Amino acid sequence: MAKRIAIVEDEAELASLLEYNLTRHGYETRIFGGSKDTLKGLEQYKPDLVVLDVMLPEMDGFELCRQIRQSAALGRASVLFLTARSDEVDRVLGLEIGGDDYMTKPFSPRELVARVKARLRREEMDAEPAVLEIGPFHLDRNARRVVQAGRELPLTATEFNLLEFFLTHRGRAYSREQLLESVWGAQRYVTPRTVDVHIRRLREQIEEQPENPRRLTTVRGFGYRFEEPA
């Protein structure tokens, strides 16, 4: 199901620019103008994340954030502030306000999408169980360890992330671009070739015959697939 994002921003042009970019990345969005009714609207919409402008016409974003945090219907929503002044940043992240992240105007829509994605991903991870038992693999998210058939794998941080992704997304083919997007996320100074390098290293650890992989297979002309363990 598509994640819902509420855009609370009174500048109509900026609001539709954000809506356009978030929708394009598969999110469901709704724009709120930041009037006194906005809290009620948000409670009905129940967004996963609120993009919240600080300077709103009828109240300030800080006050609205406080109300969001106190609302039973909105308790779990993340809040990403949009601020026009860098000196507001300390307040945004202050405990009494309870924002999760912020962006200072002007910013690129691309950067905002990356932040939204990162935030929602972090939330998903928090909701996931700490230990996974899949076939011969025992993955402990808190300890960031993977034991395969009783032997701990000496994984780098990226190899761990990659294996964790595959263990939780078994049986489906993923392109290099999709893997970059999901595993490397916002830090996109890596190329599709990077994926191949890490796949090869991961195979050396988890395959009996890395040159003839049975678990992490190549999908010709497309990418890779992690086979459901027998």
Contact set with Ca ion (CB under 5 A): 10, 53, 55
- Cβ closer to Ca ion: 17 or 55? 55
Separation between Cα atoms, residue 160 and residue 183, nearest integer Å = 10
Cβ proximity to Ca ion: between 5 and 15 the closer is: 15
Closest separation in Å from C-beta 189 to Ca ion: 32
Q: Which two tokens stand for residue 77?
A: 């929503």
State which residue has the least CB distance to Ca ion.
55
**DSSP assignments along 6-48, one per residue:** EEE-S-HHHHHHHHHHHHHTT-EEEEE--STTHHHHHHHH--S
Q: Which CB, 5 or 202, lies closer to Ca ion?
A: 5
- Count Cα atoms within 13 angstroms, Cβ side, for 119: 24
Shortest separation between residue 84's beta carbon and Ca ion, angstroms: 7
Instruction: Between 15 and 180, name the residue whose CB sits nearer to Ca ion.
Output: 15
The Cα 192–Cα 177 span in angstroms is 6
Burial of 166 (C-beta count, 10 Å sphere; 0-12/13-18/19+) = buried
**Residue placing its CB nearer to Ca ion in the complex, 53 or 164:** 53
Q: Which is nearer to Ca ion, 55 or 114 (CB)?
A: 55
At position 45, the amino acid (one-letter code) is Y
DSSP code, position 75: T
Q: What are the angstrom distances between the C-alpha of 144 and each of 140, 152, 160, 183, 201?
A: 6, 11, 7, 15, 18
What string of DSSP letters covers 83-137?
ES-GGGHHHHTSTTT--SEEEESS--HHHHHHHHHHHHHHHHHHHS-SEEEETTE
